[in-house]
Copies of this chain bind each other. A is one copy, B any other.
Amino acid sequence: MTHFRPSMSLIATRLGVSVASVSNALAGKGRVSPELAGRIREVAAEVGYVPRMAGRALRTGRSQVLGLVLPDIANPLFPQIAQAIESAAAAAGYGILIADSRNDVATQTQVIGRLLERGVDGVAIVLRRGTRVADIGIPVAVIDSPSTPGNTVSADHWQGGQLVMEHLLSLGHRKILIVGNNPASNVQNDRIGGMRSCLGAEVHSEVIWVEKIEAAHGKGCALGLADYARRGFTACATVSDLTALRALTEVLGAGIAVPEAMSVTGFDDLVWSAVVRPSLTTLQMDMATIATVAVEALVAAIGTDSGPRGPVRPLPGRPDRVPMRLIARQSTARPDAANAQPAHPVPARTGPNQNDSNGGFPT
């Protein structure tokens, strides 16, 4: 039972009119009498007409498809981005073609080429670190960090850093460890920069980088956080939930109570943040807004025939950096000298976590 897909001409012959009238009626353009338009819509619904994008694309030169190129699909941040972009694009009538640049500059240009062959009207790209996006003849929205040249829109990582640091300071922390991952990342440097911009003379802080420690002691080695705890550090502000998780488990395993003896914060509100125990205080990007700004900018550039064919700017009135939001959960609290090295309380069946917006992910 082979599905026959009706075309405009089917509707046209059924009604004894021209395909042009059908096209005009369905598109609401041109001149077609209300009654005829009505009959056409009727028959269209009746036969289950659905426009063939291929024909439209060929004629108009627009595919109604955007490319989404990511440095590494396996990055745990990807789902958020993809979901937000897909949603924003769908709302604007666009589909999303994905491409994985596998953290490689060569493949990045190669996959962009494949997207172009497929005729995407524009591409949203999360930059591989240190890459510059070449001129590819169609609008490009870059999502990385405000300090990246050519960036279209991104989260305000600096402000996020400030937010988390203010949170820790207001809780009374005065010796704070900042844990970065890779010093070459614009995003991470922004976040740490924001954190440090809040520090007064009364607070002591140190910055350590995971990749440097790993270079010395091997991948997956301990970060030596117990030492910092002994030296009086009461908070550990990391630059990503993944690092926070690593820190959290290391600290817990060393018998240091979280958050009583050591507060831990992350970044990005990844899936597990709400699930671990204690649940993780972290910062959430407003991906919906970021994606909307990016997609709006793209479709605007696509719409204007002489718009920018290359990096694109947010529409007037739209931000190029969108504020992050602090999600305070269980892993941060006032530093409690009494509990500094506590016996281990048996966790009771406590109430629900704060801000638990995780949907209990099934497999």
Contact = CB atoms under 8 A, between A and B. Distances in A.
B185 A362 contact: yes
Given A221-B350, A245-B272, A350-B221, A240 B363 contact: yes
A340 to B, nearest CB: 14
Given A58-B55, A73-B82, A221-B349, A181 B246 contact: no
A66 B250 CA distance: 43
A242 interface: yes
A224 B349 contact: yes
B96 A98 contact: yes
Interface string A249-276: 1101111011000000001100110111
Interface stretch (A12-20, A29-37, A171-179, A211-219): A211-219
Contact of A362 (B58, B129, B276, B344): B129
A347 B250 contact: yes
A87 interface: yes
Contact of A220 (B73, B220, B258, B275): B275
Contacts of A346: 226, 254
A160 to B, nearest CB: 11
A137 interface: yes
Nearest to A258: B253
A352 interface: yes
A78 interface: yes
Contacts of A188: 362-363
A348 interface: yes
Nearest to A1: B309
A95 interface: yes
Interface string A98-136: 111001000000010111111100000000010000000
Contact of A254 (B75, B347, B356): B347
B271 A74 contact: yes
Contacts of A257: 253
Contacts of A137: 2-3, 5
A128 to B, nearest CB: 10
B254 A253 contact: no
A114 B100 contact: no
B185 A351 contact: no
A46 B45 CA distance: 48
A271 B252 contact: no
25 contacts: A2-B137, A2-B309, A3-B309, A50-B113, A53-B119, A57-B57, A76-B76, A79-B79, A82-B82, A90-B114, A96-B97, A103-B359, A219-B358, A220-B277, A220-B352, A220-B356, A222-B277, A226-B346, A240-B362, A245-B275, A245-B276, A246-B277, A249-B252, A250-B347, A253-B258
Given A50-B117, A240-B361, A242-B361, 18 more contacts: A1-B309, A2-B137, A54-B54, A54-B58, A74-B359, A78-B78, A86-B100, A87-B100, A95-B97, A96-B97, A185-B362, A188-B363, A210-B360, A220-B279, A242-B275, A249-B276, A249-B278, A250-B347
Interface of A: 1-3, 5, 50-55, 57-58, 63-65, 72-80, 82-83, 86-87, 90, 95-100, 103, 111, 113-119, 129, 137-138, 181-182, 185, 187-188, 210-211, 214, 217-222, 224, 226, 239-240, 242, 245-246, 248-250, 252-255, 257-258, 267-268, 271-272, 274-279, 306, 309, 343-353, 356, 358-363
